[in-house]
Amino acid sequence: MKILQLMFLAVLGLSLNAQAQKRSDKAVISTPTIQCEMCKNKIEKMLPRMTDGITSVKVNVKAKTTTVSWLTDRTSLEQIKTAIANIGYDAGDVTAEETAYKRLPTCCKKPEDQGKKP
């Protein structure tokens, strides 16, 4: 009987531990430099590839926001913002990486930069 109780406690402990490791979080990040559907598609496609643990990405072009869900044991909000900046877009308090921004198509750049040559 004691062996059965110990086995039950062990299984319960393992299942609780597995649930604790799969905690997720969600945030809405201001992405003020997105301009078009191409920007939306680029972020939604590239972000999960660049950052392990992202479970969903939704970009709202009109609101200029990106909603991201992720597993907390694999990544953090700061890493996600940095990844967005490395794609070429501002993300909250993180400014877009300059060379990545320059590689964006003209339609994806801020209106004041669209007439400038690289």
Dump pLDDT digits (tens) for 79-111.
Answer: 999 999 999 999 999 999 999 999 999 999 888
Domains in the chain, ordered, with CATH?
Answer: 22-107 (3.30.70.100)
Residues 6+ apart with CB under 8 A from 48: 54, 57
At residue 17, the pLDDT reads 57
Which residue, chain included where needed, has tokens 């402990």?
13
Indicate yes or no: pTM above 0.75: yes
pLDDT of 21-35, one tens digit each? 579 999 999 999 999
At residue 81, the pLDDT reads 98
pLDDT of 30-76, one tens digit each? 999 999 999 999 999 999 999 999 999 999 999 999 999 999 999 99
Q: What would you report as the CA-atom Rg of the chain, rounded to the nearest whole angstrom?
A: 20
Residues 6+ apart with CB under 8 A from 39: 33, 59, 61, 89, 104, 108
β-bridge mates for residue 25, sequence order: 70
Relative orientation angle of helices 37-50 and 77-87, to the nearest 10 degrees: 130
At residue 110, the pLDDT reads 82
